[in-house]
């Protein structure tokens, strides 16, 4: 009997022998014979695949509809490879009466109820699940050549130098700590760019890339902004790397993060309901409304967070903790409540409308047959026309991407390198014309929906758009719906505010951790704290303050620059169970009081469990069977090129893509706000840039030494002995690779020639 969580894995192939071949691979995996399964998967004739891929494109018939080429061997190999990837990442493969099913692993969402041994077992299972993807990256030819190049000795004035010179010497570090105490470690940060490290001559970016391979999960380049940062120790010879930090563009659609920033319908419903309770009811009504928020059981929209956000909206002092904020709200007189709630409603309504208007005006309409003023005055008039424009532009774009026709020359330079005229010309390409017309159409539908009815009270309009047409005070029960009744217009306004802030003022800490041997000294806590200092925010501003927005410029048909002052950073922990380096990490009040807050769990969605080989196979299949290359890294085609390739490829194979893209490996989501409440609609006041007002790297490092390093050395004196036994040669990445004798000899020079 199959378990309920089993997911059907249909095998839709033409030649029966190929179907039997895939079924045999599935049977091998079901028995746990991965070697046989991989061997069979690779046995499909390469010549047949190449012949299928080189087939001349089939022309589109005059009557419409595309005659698709069929590539059965390529399909079969892709199906086998998907199965192998799933199995190596802990998925169960089941063969039952000639049908194949897969079952996702049951990862623990939290460590609640687990013993320390079980927590470690769960962590090791996560590491093993991702080991195949890490090994895949390390053992690619290019990665191996890079690793050997970084480890190869070259001579400088001080003698032989290599990446080994940037790994701290354990016995020397222990002696230094014994001699002068925690102040022996002097952290500083620097951007890992193409500049040369003065101590080794290596490019700083290459240094970052090398040490990033130490991590237990694979590293893929992410679209958008990326700022790699090295944490160095000036207290030791050669200033060894003691940690890595990387600020990157946030991943889209992380609901718990977005709710914690006040940018989801769930948050908006909770806040508006609490405002209603304050305006209409006695103290008991407010407490019941806050209790309804608590019943959501959502850490991102918790009672404490909503009370603080309402306090910020009403201009009540929100310092002092959640209970204090609630008491301050209750202490407001009925008159003060009414006046402040009315003002808050006006600001909420105004901000929602302003967000949509700004999004509309940010789209060039020069070639769309209307003006912004016309669109805002009578939006419904233009919706149909824009739909026609978008459909025609989409057809033109798809034809331009056909593999059967010569590819039109496209301007693929970034907006930073283009003039206003060149950007304007690029904006008229079919891809961007399609995006502009389609997005403007959707915005006008939302604008029409959100516009107040003539003579309607602002408070009534807000209630209607957030709590639904039928809402009346008092409600029969204080029960929240997760934003079920929030209107399309309000949802669109929240979405565009979210997109705007995520584009340039919120960053994701995509890499954060210590490099051996600094992990023994709570170096992970150091890097986590340094992310909260003003140093990374200042480097981010320095890097991007004059950056031309590629997306914004091509949508506006002119040069657009976006703000580069960070108001918040977010991250996800590697494990969902046990302790995390982000727990209890907070700056003291005299250094700003900013800390990492756990706001919930991620769902575990993505392509982490699919190999690069599988991605390439699926891309080949899409090209062969559609005759088009619609998925590249160009803006306008959709987010996450790799995700789109995998999803579309799985769908083309007839597989349940949405189910297979949920790897189910949850992560703990953390948020640190440099400008609390600033992201919420309706909150007034300008945020003072954290790059100026936050604590320095030196101040933050001093706090780490006093709060974490000093106590660690006092409580665990054996740490000195552990450092004394640390051999940095053991941590060279080449130890994990197959090496030739020549390469071994070159590496021996580094190990033996340096003191």
- Mean pLDDT is highest, among 282-286, 431-435, 713-717, for 713-717
**Contact assessment for residue 254 and residue 534, using Cβ atoms and an 8 Å cutoff:** no
Q: Residue 738: what pLDDT?
A: 59
Q: Which domain holds residue 50?
A: 7-103+606-660
Token representation of residue 366 = 């020069």
**Contact assessment for residue 670 and residue 586, using Cβ atoms and an 8 Å cutoff:** no
The pairing of strands 92-96 and 99-103 is: antiparallel
Token representation of residue 299 = 């850490």
DSSP 372-402: HHHHHHSHHHHHHHHHHHHHHHHHHHHHHTB
Residue 577 in this model has a pLDDT that exceeds 90: no
410 and 447 housed in the same domain: yes
Average pLDDT, the chain: 85
- Does 1 fall in a domain? no
Q: Residue 662: what pLDDT?
A: 78
- Does 649 fall in a domain? yes
695 and 645 housed in the same domain: no
| CA 562 – CA 583 distance, rounded (Å) | 32
Q: Residue 416: what pLDDT?
A: 63
572 and 558 housed in the same domain: yes
Q: Residue 75: what pLDDT?
A: 87
Closest by CA to 569, choosing from 687, 693, 673, is 673
88 and 184 housed in the same domain: no
| Out of 232-246, 434-448, 606-620, 627-641, least confident range | 627-641
- Burial of 60-82, coded b for 16+ CB within 10 Å and e otherwise, reads beeeeebeebebbbbbbbbbbbb
Alpha-carbon distances, residue 214 vs 113, 119, 217, 513, 734 (angstroms): 31, 22, 9, 10, 11
Residue 120 in this model has a pLDDT that exceeds 90: no
Alpha-carbon distances, residue 223 vs 143, 236, 362, 644 (angstroms): 21, 36, 22, 13
**Contact assessment for residue 81 and residue 653, using Cβ atoms and an 8 Å cutoff:** no
Q: Residue 477: what pLDDT?
A: 84
Q: Residue 59: what pLDDT?
A: 40
- Does 38 fall in a domain? yes
Backbone angles phi, psi at 284, to 5 degrees: -60, -35
Confidence of residue 685 (pLDDT cuts 50, 70, 90): confident
Closest by CA to 650, choosing from 623, 606, 613, 615, is 615
Q: Residue 57: what pLDDT?
A: 45
Q: Residue 743: what pLDDT?
A: 43
518 and 596 housed in the same domain: yes
Residue 263 in this model has a pLDDT that exceeds 90: yes
| Out of 54-68, 211-225, 525-539, 581-595, least confident range | 54-68
Q: Residue 52: what pLDDT?
A: 59
3 state SS of 188: strand
Confidence of residue 257 (pLDDT cuts 50, 70, 90): very high
What would the pLDDT profile of 290-309 be if each residue is shown by its tens digit? 999 999 988 899 999 999 99
- Does 450 fall in a domain? yes
Residue 713 in this model has a pLDDT that exceeds 80: yes
69 and 187 housed in the same domain: no
218 and 268 housed in the same domain: no
- Mean pLDDT is highest, among 106-115, 514-523, 678-687, 746-755, for 514-523
Q: Work out the angle at residue 597's Cα, subtended by the Cα atoms of residues 596 and 600, and round it to the nearest 5 degrees.
A: 135
474 and 492 housed in the same domain: yes
Q: Residue 711: what pLDDT?
A: 96
Q: Residue 51: what pLDDT?
A: 56
Single out the residue in 617, 641, 660 at which a domain terminates: 660
- Does 410 fall in a domain? yes
Kindly state the percentage of the chain with pLDDT values over 70.
86
| CA 755 – CA 750 distance, rounded (Å) | 10
Secondary element (H or E) of residue 81:
helix 72-88
- Does 68 fall in a domain? yes
Start-end of H helices in 487-611: 488-504, 523-530, 534-544, 550-556
203 and 292 housed in the same domain: no
| Out of 150-159, 415-424, 469-478, 495-504, least confident range | 415-424
**Contact assessment for residue 646 and residue 576, using Cβ atoms and an 8 Å cutoff:** no
> Sign of the C-alpha dihedral, residues 552, 556, 558, 563?
negative
Confidence of residue 564 (pLDDT cuts 50, 70, 90): very high
Q: Residue 215: what pLDDT?
A: 86
Q: Residue 180: what pLDDT?
A: 95
Confidence of residue 67 (pLDDT cuts 50, 70, 90): very low
The structural domain count of the chain equals 3
Q: Work out the angle at residue 418's Cα, subtended by the Cα atoms of residues 412 and 421, and round it to the nearest 5 degrees.
A: 110
Backbone angles phi, psi at 670, to 5 degrees: -120, 150
| Out of 225-234, 453-462, 580-589, 611-620, least confident range | 611-620
**Contact assessment for residue 430 and residue 393, using Cβ atoms and an 8 Å cutoff:** yes
Token representation of residue 731 = 């941590």
SS (H, E, C) 575-641: CCCCCCCCCCCECCHHHCCCECEEEEECCCECCCCCCHHHHHHHHHHHHHHHCECCCCCCCCCCCCH
Residue 749 in this model has a pLDDT that exceeds 50: no
Q: Residue 485: what pLDDT?
A: 95
What would the pLDDT profile of 626-661 be if each residue is shown by its tens digit? 766 554 444 444 446 778 888 888 888 888 888 888
**Contact assessment for residue 451 and residue 357, using Cβ atoms and an 8 Å cutoff:** no
Residue 66 in this model has a pLDDT that exceeds 70: no
| CA 667 – CA 665 distance, rounded (Å) | 7
**Contact assessment for residue 600 and residue 669, using Cβ atoms and an 8 Å cutoff:** yes
SS (H, E, C) 434-457: HHHHHHHHHHHHHHHHHCCCCCCC
Placement of tokens 């991943």 in the chain: 251
Q: Residue 736: what pLDDT?
A: 83
Token representation of residue 310 = 């309402």
- Burial of 249-258, coded b for 16+ CB within 10 Å and e otherwise, reads bbbeebbbbb
| Out of 560-564, 623-627, 672-676, least confident range | 623-627
| pTM of the complete model | 0.85
Single out the residue in 660, 684, 699 at which a domain terminates: 660
What would the pLDDT profile of 397-439 be if each residue is shown by its tens digit? 777 765 544 444 444 555 566 777 888 888 788 888 888 899 9
**Contact assessment for residue 229 and residue 505, using Cβ atoms and an 8 Å cutoff:** no
DSSP 464-479: HHHH-TT--SSPSS--
Q: Residue 323: what pLDDT?
A: 83
Average pLDDT over residues 180-196: 96
Single out the residue in 440, 473, 503 at which a domain terminates: 503
- Mean pLDDT is highest, among 66-75, 79-88, 537-546, for 537-546
Q: Answer with the residue of higher pLDDT: 497 or 134.
A: 497
- Burial of 183-210, coded b for 16+ CB within 10 Å and e otherwise, reads ebbebbbebbeeeebebbebbbebbbbb
Confidence of residue 705 (pLDDT cuts 50, 70, 90): very high
CA 524 to chain centre: 20
Average pLDDT over residues 66-75: 67
Token representation of residue 11 = 């095998």
468 and 528 housed in the same domain: no
Q: Residue 755: what pLDDT?
A: 24
300 and 442 housed in the same domain: yes
Q: Answer with the residue of higher pLDDT: 263 or 160.
A: 263
Within 13 A of 214's CA, how many CA atoms are on the CB side?
A: 22
Q: Answer with the residue of higher pLDDT: 393 or 705.
A: 705
Average pLDDT over residues 715-741: 86
Q: Residue 54: what pLDDT?
A: 53
Q: Residue 588: what pLDDT?
A: 96
Q: Residue 621: what pLDDT?
A: 82
- Does 110 fall in a domain? no
Q: Answer with the residue of higher pLDDT: 746 or 559.
A: 559
Average pLDDT over residues 313-332: 88
Contacts of 259 (CB under 8 A, 6+ apart): 266, 267, 298, 300, 301, 599, 600
Q: Answer with the residue of higher pLDDT: 608 or 11.
A: 11
- Does 745 fall in a domain? no
| Out of 125-134, 143-152, 560-569, least confident range | 125-134
How many CB atoms lie under 10 A from the CB of residue 17?
9
| CA 294 – CA 141 distance, rounded (Å) | 53
541 and 492 housed in the same domain: no
């Amino acid at each position: 009997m199959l378990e309920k969580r089993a997911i059907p894995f249909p095998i839709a192939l033409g030649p029966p022998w190929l179907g039997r071949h895939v079924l045999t691979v599935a049977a091998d995996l079901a028995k746990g014979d991965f070697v046989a399964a991989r061997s069979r998967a690779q046995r499909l004739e390469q010549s047949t695949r190449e012949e299928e891929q080189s087939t001349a494109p089939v022309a589109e018939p005059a009557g419409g509809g595309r005659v698709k080429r069929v590539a059965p061997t390529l399909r079969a190999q892709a199906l086998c490879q998907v199965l192998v990837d799933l199995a190596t990442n802990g998925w169960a493969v089941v063969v039952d009466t000639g049908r194949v099913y897969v079952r996702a692993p049951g990862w623990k969402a939290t460590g609640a109820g687990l013993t320390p041994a079980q927590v470690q077992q769960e962590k090791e299972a996560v590491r093993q699940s991702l080991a195949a993807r890490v090994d895949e990256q390390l053992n690619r030819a290019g990665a191996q050549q890079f690793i050997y190049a970084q480890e190869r000795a070259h001579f400088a004035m001080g003698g032989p130098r290599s990446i080994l010179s940037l790994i701290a010497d354990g016995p020397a570090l222990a002696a230094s700590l014994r001699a002068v105490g925690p102040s022996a470690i002097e952290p500083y940060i620097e951007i890992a760019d193409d500049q040369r490290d003065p101590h080794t001559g290596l490019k700083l970016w290459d240094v970052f890339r090398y040490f990033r391979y130490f991590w237990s999960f694979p590293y893929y380049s992410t679209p958008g902004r990326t700022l790699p940062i090295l944490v160095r120790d000036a207290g030791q010879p050669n200033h060894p790397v003691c940690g890595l930090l990387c600020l990157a563009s946030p991943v889209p659609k992380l609901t718990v993060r977005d709710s914690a920033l006040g940018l989801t319908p769930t948050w908006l419903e909770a806040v508006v309901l609490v405002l209603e309770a304050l305006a209409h009811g006695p103290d008991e009504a407010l407490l019941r409304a806050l209790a309804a928020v608590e019943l959501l059981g959502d850490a991102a929209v918790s009672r404490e967070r909503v009370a603080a956000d309402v306090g910020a909206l009403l201009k009540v002092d929100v310092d002092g903790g959640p209970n204090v904020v609630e008491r301050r709200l209750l202490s407001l007189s009925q008159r003060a409540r009414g006046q402040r709630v009315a003002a808050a409603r006006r600001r909420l309504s105004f901000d929602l409308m302003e967000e949509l208007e700004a999004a509309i005006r940010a789209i060039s309409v020069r070639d769309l047959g209307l003006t912004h003023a016309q669109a805002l005055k009578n939006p419904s008039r233009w919706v149909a026309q824009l739909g026609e424009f978008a459909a025609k532009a989409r057809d033109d774009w798809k034809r331009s991407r056909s593999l059967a026709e010569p590819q039109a020359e496209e301007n693929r330079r970034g907006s930073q390198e283009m003039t206003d005229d060149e950007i304007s010309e690029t904006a008229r390409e079919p891809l961007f014309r399609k995006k502009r017309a389609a997005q403007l159409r959707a915005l006008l539908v939302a604008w029409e929906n959100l516009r107040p009815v003539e003579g309607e009270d602002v408070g009534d309009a807000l209630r209607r758009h957030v709590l639904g047409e039928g809402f009346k005070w008092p409600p029969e029960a204080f029960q929240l719906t997760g934003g079920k009744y929030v209107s399309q217009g309000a949802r669109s306004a929240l979405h565009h505010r979210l997109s705007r802030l995520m584009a340039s003022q919120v960053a994701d800490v995509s890499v954060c951790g210590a490099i051996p041997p600094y992990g023994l000294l709570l170096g992970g806590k150091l890097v986590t704290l340094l992310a909260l200092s003003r140093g990374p925010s200042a480097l981010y501003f320095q890097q991007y303050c004059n950056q031309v927005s590629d997306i914004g410029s091509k949508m506006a048909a002119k040069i657009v620059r976006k703000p580069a002052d960070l108001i918040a950073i977010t991250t996800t922990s590697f494990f969902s169970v046990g302790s995390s380096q982000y727990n209890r990490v907070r700056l003291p009040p005299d250094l700003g009081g900013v800390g990492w807050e756990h706001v919930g769990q991620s769902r575990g969605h993505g392509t982490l469990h699919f190999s690069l080989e599988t991605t390439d196979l699926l891309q080949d299949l899409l090209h062969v069977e559609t005759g088009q290359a619609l998925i590249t890294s160009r803006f306008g085609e959709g987010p996450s090129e790799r995700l789109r390739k995998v999803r579309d490829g799985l769908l083309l194979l007839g597989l349940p893509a949405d189910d297979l893209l949920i790897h189910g490996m949850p992560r703990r989501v953390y948020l640190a706000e440099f400008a609390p409440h600033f992201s919420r609609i309706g909150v007034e006041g300008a945020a003072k840039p954290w790059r100026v007002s936050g604590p320095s790297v030196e101040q933050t490092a001093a706090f780490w030494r006093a709060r974490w390093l000093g106590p660690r050395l006092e409580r665990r004196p054996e740490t000195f002995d552990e450092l004394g036994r640390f051999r940095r040669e053991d941590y060279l990445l080449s130890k994990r690779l197959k090496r030739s004798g020549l390469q071994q000899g070159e590496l021996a020079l580094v190990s033996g020639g340096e003191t």
